[in-house]
Amino acid sequence: MRPSGRSAQQVRPITLTRGYTKHAEGSVLVAFGDTKVLCNATVEEGVPRFLKGQGKGWVTAEYGMLPRATHSRNAREAARGKQGGRTLEIQRLIARSLRAAVDLEKLGEYTITLDCDVLQADGGTRTASITGACVALADAFNRMVAKGQLKSSPLKGMVAAVSVGIVAGEAVCDLEYVEDSAAETDMNVVMTEDGRMIEVQGTAEGEPFSHEELLALLALARGGIDTIVEAQKAALTQAPVADLK
Amino acid sequence: MRPSGRSAQQVRPITLTRGYTKHAEGSVLVAFGDTKVLCNATVEEGVPRFLKGQGKGWVTAEYGMLPRATHSRNAREAARGKQGGRTLEIQRLIARSLRAAVDLEKLGEYTITLDCDVLQADGGTRTASITGACVALADAFNRMVAKGQLKSSPLKGMVAAVSVGIVAGEAVCDLEYVEDSAAETDMNVVMTEDGRMIEVQGTAEGEPFSHEELLALLALARGGIDTIVEAQKAALTQAPVADLK
Amino acid sequence: MRPSGRSAQQVRPITLTRGYTKHAEGSVLVAFGDTKVLCNATVEEGVPRFLKGQGKGWVTAEYGMLPRATHSRNAREAARGKQGGRTLEIQRLIARSLRAAVDLEKLGEYTITLDCDVLQADGGTRTASITGACVALADAFNRMVAKGQLKSSPLKGMVAAVSVGIVAGEAVCDLEYVEDSAAETDMNVVMTEDGRMIEVQGTAEGEPFSHEELLALLALARGGIDTIVEAQKAALTQAPVADLK
Amino acid sequence: MRPSGRSAQQVRPITLTRGYTKHAEGSVLVAFGDTKVLCNATVEEGVPRFLKGQGKGWVTAEYGMLPRATHSRNAREAARGKQGGRTLEIQRLIARSLRAAVDLEKLGEYTITLDCDVLQADGGTRTASITGACVALADAFNRMVAKGQLKSSPLKGMVAAVSVGIVAGEAVCDLEYVEDSAAETDMNVVMTEDGRMIEVQGTAEGEPFSHEELLALLALARGGIDTIVEAQKAALTQAPVADLK
Amino acid sequence: MRPSGRSAQQVRPITLTRGYTKHAEGSVLVAFGDTKVLCNATVEEGVPRFLKGQGKGWVTAEYGMLPRATHSRNAREAARGKQGGRTLEIQRLIARSLRAAVDLEKLGEYTITLDCDVLQADGGTRTASITGACVALADAFNRMVAKGQLKSSPLKGMVAAVSVGIVAGEAVCDLEYVEDSAAETDMNVVMTEDGRMIEVQGTAEGEPFSHEELLALLALARGGIDTIVEAQKAALTQAPVADLK
Amino acid sequence: MRPSGRSAQQVRPITLTRGYTKHAEGSVLVAFGDTKVLCNATVEEGVPRFLKGQGKGWVTAEYGMLPRATHSRNAREAARGKQGGRTLEIQRLIARSLRAAVDLEKLGEYTITLDCDVLQADGGTRTASITGACVALADAFNRMVAKGQLKSSPLKGMVAAVSVGIVAGEAVCDLEYVEDSAAETDMNVVMTEDGRMIEVQGTAEGEPFSHEELLALLALARGGIDTIVEAQKAALTQAPVADLK
């Protein structure tokens, strides 16, 4: 029995609140249970130097955690004067994952920055970030179409992510913090809406894992991501972007 | 006529949502109109080195703004590798203001850190931060009493803040962003609930201001703070801290 | 009785030595008693990016304290790798105060940097800095006129500053260090030569202060600043800028 | 046909030169073809603060690349003042991988630091680092046993790594730089000598990849790692650690 | 003919003003012509970690230049966030030179920090710093003796420094800025009062220099330092340290 | 008797391995006994801003030490976030020394960066760096000539360096670590192949040194450098640059 009473296959309740803040071109508060991340998409003209003049766009991401998003307080990275290795690793993952969802040629010379800031953490902040950022990105593109900056959205489809892991010998989906900290193996999977893989990152925290365990985890991830993509699509049909504040 | 249709004396709608996140000992989302700040109070045993062994506590604060809290995106301070002068100035102000509300001898050797993170900015983020942080601090102290760490709360009373300014020749209370950016004079006032002053910071943005103008601004501030303190007290009576998530 | 034997209204002996160093366009050693600050004004062509092409000038400031300007040694900020919050707060105040003294349109696309470096500290370093920097600025402008860079000085008048505070229940003017560290309330006031206010920053160090106390402090500040402006004007008439080394 | 004339399954020539430098407790120059990494293991008494008093040891890693290890020169991280995200990500991976090879309880309160510095890069620097660091770690433990610091080596077995990827539609093993930069999918796999997985990190650089492609890549990785482990074991039997300079 | 009209052997007018600031245990404003450096000696109990428990003292130094000490303004190192290579090189030289003047065993577990801050630069700031710091050090030791912290001064004798160089083919002593920037060879020499060498740093700025040129420069340095040591001794006999402010 | 059995005049065995890595335009592993430094020369078009448009080239250098190049491990500078004073001092010395070997007008608007990274340290890393960097520079220039970027090499001749010192009262040449750490006086000398001086840096570690000692050290340095220049010339005649990998 999992701490939350969920079955091994079951993801936590997913909510995606669009238009959560008013300035960003896309602004989504995503909750995977008690994990809550504010994902803001910013549209800016121009691209980084290495892309100049190629007619292509760019998608990047930054990740942060409020100091008291966690059980005990973590030092503020701005005060310590640098982003930690975990932060940099996660924001690189978010950016790669979302770039895989976008036709950069079709986007043209715009840069989209996805800021994912964790307000409350209970495991799975990187997978919630990717999931929420994709919806924020969809809204940003819709707004660009509405403003005439783009003819149609360069989003190729939904991208979503989930964590899976082996806890007390059993493979489970969408780990919350108490599960995550006890997991023998932890894996983050990012997929397209048609079930192809963008990222697979599996780590043995204790014992190494076998080929069979890997297959079991991937199957769980596929099921979880199907549910999450449904939640993304449902959120996006609730209201046209123009009706968001 | 002000952009919001408010009278010169009127503050924006104030909301104070307690228990906004679950880990912090005090967690308040404060809104002054469209300005929204998450204020988390963290209780830790021990005090900074300069206070060790004196039997007194300490209250400190950190302030941050999410990159897209504002109309256009600001670079993330953690990524730039340092907190800017404005950030440091504001967090020093928040800390001084809240220390004035606390009997540090009665607190004993604990450190309270108030993290004020702006989710959405529309003017007055520092005054909203002080106002919300005071309620978070009250909840943190109540929780310490409930846990038996303290016999009674060392909070001496409410502390609240408001900005006042001269816009188009008229003194107005609780400026929103469009007013703030057009103000000739801008003043932030922090007061105790009985109307004594903790901080007065007035700045001429354009023309210097006269003694009479200063007096008019202080009177407006006094009125605004009375309303804000009422909102603080009402919020704190809504539920005992133990009933917050 | 104050430690120095001064009356409550009395400022310390003020000296303003122009031409203290030879390279800067304006160079003033200001002393408020034992507080000694070297204020150098540098004239450079061009303006920061956000002002480019508007035909307006800019005035900025930097503040520093030699490590042994104080009773015990402070770590050198260059060695620690960053300027502290207090330093940034003070240099922002100096810059705002001096900008209020200048007609930036008339200055045209030049940037003036005011470096205020404290050689010896005994309370009131920020008010001495503003006072000395204004004289250095006047000399820099006079030199620009002499060189034909400007037709006439864009200085609108003198700007000066003084600290006032409540010490042992009594309001006093121009606090030296022993008073400052014992003050219940501390206020820095920056005024134009005609007594209008540019900045008012009052802080309750212990008990909050009342409206009446605020009025008493402002009255003291007004008197002190009148004396200080006299000293500024006297210094500037001592010698034409061309005769300074 | 691959640029090097290798078959899809074939890894590059692997050399592991033990005792490459004289000060480190373990010092191995590893070459995967033209990729050359110096892996030094340092033994220090004591453990990081979070482990103090638990009787357990710690294994950590740092990674660096000489500025001209690559085709064009990269800025030196020490001169830029921070390690980049890629560096931090790789050194976290190396450390996790090697910790999985060690019985930390048996190690006791020692810290082993593995410094992996790339002298020449031609793809696969992180997999070469892990492979070489494991041999350096074995030598460091052997030396500790010889010195009487440990009764027996806490190394649980060899750990090795290889990159696999899809290049021009074909799955290939141990990519060199020209293959790596053209790969549609890139995967790094870290395994124990008995073929269980410690890390699997797969990334779609272009199109997402399918379940079948993932399986093909894992099979290639397994074969490559078998060859690499053989090279590790052969190197370790060449000379007892005491005979290394 | 030199720009100043001096002969090749002649040093600039040297002044050493003791008691220049009031807080430091030794405080000397040294002038070599228009080069002016404030040298403050701070006495603190204790020694750096690597010396703990050995009963020996330590002498260290820090060097800085006010932004407008030079003809055009240099960026403030505290604002740039690090000390430059030139600064670090000079402060290491000052510290080594002064340590050579002190019997560290006799000093006991105290640390002396010599802060040398250039108020105005006209060539030779490092040699002026060493010369002035030695007098400040003497005063600090004398004050320690007067306070009973030491039985007698651990200063072994005066240490002084001068720059020499080859300008327009001629060897000259104590170069001012216009000479320094035109010098083909530049050498800084630090000597004890009896003419033995502590540091010799010669650099060919243009053509390499010959053995004969080196000998000529050393002879000039010896003569210059004799004059400078006389100035140090004269300054120290002007007043007992207790009579300095 | 020296620890290595060498005579006072004798330098350690010098080896210079050209083409040590494959990407750099010049790549030399230099060994002075057990001191081993990898010296890579990088050619880039363009010059720093202060040289733009003058038709002259630039030569610069960076120095680093692998963390375990030394007997005990040193913290990685990239991880600490800054280069130490010793590192900056050495890389400034290397750059100045090599610039003295080059006709910058003849080089034209190219920048050569010499990266000297110490793989193993046993005293004399800076003198080995200069010696090896000069050979790497020669190879880089030869390659530029071969590619048609230059008509002929702008290298004016060999530059080499050696350390000399007084150990146990005797002057010795090319100190290894145990000698260096016991030296009373330590001197680094950089010379051209015809015996003229580029840099002389002598430091009294214990007692000041006399004029006679200085002369003895210079004579030793001259002899050592003659041997080292022979080794440089022999290395360069072993193979044309085109035959290096």
Could you read off the pLDDT tens digit of each residue along chain B, which spans 245 residues? 899 999 999 999 999 999 999 999 999 999 999 999 999 999 999 999 999 999 999 999 999 999 999 999 999 999 999 999 999 999 999 999 999 999 999 999 999 999 999 999 999 999 999 999 999 999 999 999 999 999 999 999 999 999 999 999 999 999 999 999 999 999 999 999 999 999 999 999 889 999 999 999 999 999 999 999 999 999 999 988 888 86
The secondary structure of chain E as a DSSP string is --TT---TTPPPPEEEEET-SSSSSEEEEEEETTEEEEEEEEEEES--GGGTTSS--EEEEEEEE-TTSSSSPPPPHHHHTS--HHHHHHHHHHHHHHHTTB-HHHH-SEEEEEEEEEEE-SS-HHHHHHHHHHHHHHHHHHHHHHTTS-SS--B-S-EEEEEEEEETTEEEES--HHHHTT-SEEEEEEEETTS-EEEEEEEESSS-B-HHHHHHHHHHHHHHHHHHHHHHHHHHHHS-GGG--
Q: What is the distance between the alpha carbons of residues B137 and B143, in angstroms, rounded to a whole number?
A: 10
- Distance (Å) from the alpha carbon of C123 to chain E's nearest alpha carbon: 13
Residue that the structure tokens 């501390």 belong to: C186
pLDDT at E1: 82
Chain centroid, CA F83 distance in Å: 19
> Which residues of chain A fall short of a pLDDT of 70?
245
Under an 8 Å CB criterion, which residues of D touch F?
A: 21-24, 27, 34, 36, 38, 40, 42, 44, 62, 64, 66-73, 76-79, 81-83, 87, 113, 115, 117, 119-120
The per-residue pLDDT for range D152-190, each reduced to its tens digit, is: 999 999 999 999 999 999 999 999 999 999 999 999 999
Distance CA F23, CA F40 (A): 9
**F35 CB-contact burial (10 Å; exposed 0-12 / middle 13-18 / buried 19+):** buried
Query: A86: which 2 tokens?
Result: 């975990």
Contacts of A62 in chain B (CB under 8 A): 67, 76, 79
* Positions of chain F with pLDDT lower than 70, given as ranges: 245
H or E stretch including F165? strand F159-167
Whether D198 and A208 lie within 8 Å, measured CB to CB: yes
What is chain C's mean pLDDT, rounded?
96
- Alpha carbons D158 and D138: distance in angstroms, whole number: 9
Could you give the percent of chain C with pLDDT greater than 70?
Answer: 100
Q: Are strands B14-18 and E185-192 parallel, antiparallel or unpaired?
A: unpaired
Q: What is the pTM of this model?
A: 0.94
**pLDDT of D245 over the 70 cut:** no
Q: Which residue from B minimizes the CA distance to A23?
A: B71
Q: How far apart are CA B209 and CA B204, in angstroms?
A: 6
Residue count (chain C): 245
Task: Return the bridge partners of A163, or none.
Answer: A188
Give dist(CA B97, CA B132) in Å, integer. Answer: 12
Residue A72 and residue B45 in contact, taking contact as beta carbons nearer than 8 Å: no
A60 annotated ligand binder = no
| Closest residue of chain A to B75, computed from CA coordinates | A62
**Alpha carbon E11 to its chain's center:** 15
- Residue E3 is encoded by which pair of tokens? 């720009």
Beta carbons of D78 and F73 less than 8 Å apart: no
Residue B40 has what pLDDT?
98
The reply to whether ipTM tops 0.90 is yes
Which residues of chain F have a CB within 8 Å of the CB of E203?
Answer: 96, 198-199
Mean pLDDT for all residues in chain D: 96
Distance in angstroms (rounded) separating the CA atoms of residues C79 and E109? 23
User: pLDDT-derived band of residue E239, with 50, 70 and 90 as boundaries?
Assistant: confident
Helix (H, G, I), strand (E, B) or coil at C39: strand
Residues of chain E with Cβ-Cβ distance to C66 below 8 Å are 38, 40, 64, 115, 117
**Cβ of B115 and A44 within 8 Å?**
no
Question: How close F81 gets to chain D, by Cα (Å)?
Answer: 4
Looking at the partner chain, which of F85, F91, F214 has a beta carbon nearest the beta carbon of E92?
F85
DSSP D78-109: HHHTS--HHHHHHHHHHHHHHHTTB-HHHH-S
User: What is the torsional sign of CA C121, C127, C130, C136?
Assistant: negative
Can you say how many angstroms the Cα of residue C75 is from the centroid of all Cα atoms in its chain?
23
What average pLDDT does range E191-214 have in this prediction? 96
Residue E52 has pLDDT above 80, yes or no: yes
Segment C133-142 mean pLDDT: 98
Chain B: touching chains (3 or more CB pairs < 8 Å)? A, C
Q: Which residue of B has its CA nearest to A29?
A: B119
Judging by DSSP bridges, how do beta strands E197-204 and F26-32 pair with one another?
unpaired
Select from C17, C35, C37, C73 the residue whose CB has the most chain E CBs within 10 Å, as the one to mutate to test that interface. C73
Q: Do A85 and D82 touch (CB under 8 A)?
A: no
Sequential DSSP letters for E175-209: --HHHHTT-SEEEEEEEETTS-EEEEEEEESSS-B
pLDDT at position E145 over 80: yes
- Chain C residue with CA closest to B91: the answer is C85
**Closest Cα to residue C204, out of B195, B226, B165, B173?**
B195
Q: Which residues sit opposite B191 in a β-bridge? A: B160, B197
Which residue among A199, A203, A208 places its CB closest to the CB of D192? A208
Angstrom distance (rounded) from CA C149 to CA C145: 6
User: Does the beta-carbon distance from D199 to A203 stay under 8 Å?
Assistant: yes
Does the annotation list A86 as a binding residue? yes
Mutate to test the interface with D, among F119, F137, F245 (most CBs of D within 10 A): F119
Express as a percent the part of chain D with pLDDT over 70.
100
- CB spacing of F76 vs D78 below 8 angstroms: yes
Pinpoint the alpha helices (H) of chain A: 77-80, 85-99, 104-107, 125-146, 177-180, 211-237
In chain B, the percentage of residues whose pLDDT exceeds 90 is 96
Q: Residue A245: its pLDDT value, please? A: 66
**Model confidence over A97-111: pLDDT tens digits?**
999 999 999 999 999
D–F CB contacts, 8 A cutoff, strictly below: 94
The stretch D230-243 carries a mean pLDDT of: 92
Q: Are the beta carbons of F146 and F60 closer than 8 angstroms?
A: no
Q: 3-class SS at F110?
A: strand
- Please provide residue E211's backbone torsions phi and psi, each rounded to the nearest 5 degrees: -60, -40
Under the banding of pLDDT at 50, 70 and 90, the label for residue E165 is: very high
Record: contact B83-A82, CB cut-off 8 A: no
- Per-residue pLDDT reduced to its tens digit, D40-83: 999 999 999 999 999 999 999 999 999 999 999 999 999 999 99
Q: What value does the mean pLDDT of chain F take?
A: 96
Interface with A, mutate which of B66, B83, B178 (most A CBs under 10 A)? B66
| Residues F233, F155 contacting (CB under 8 angstroms) | no
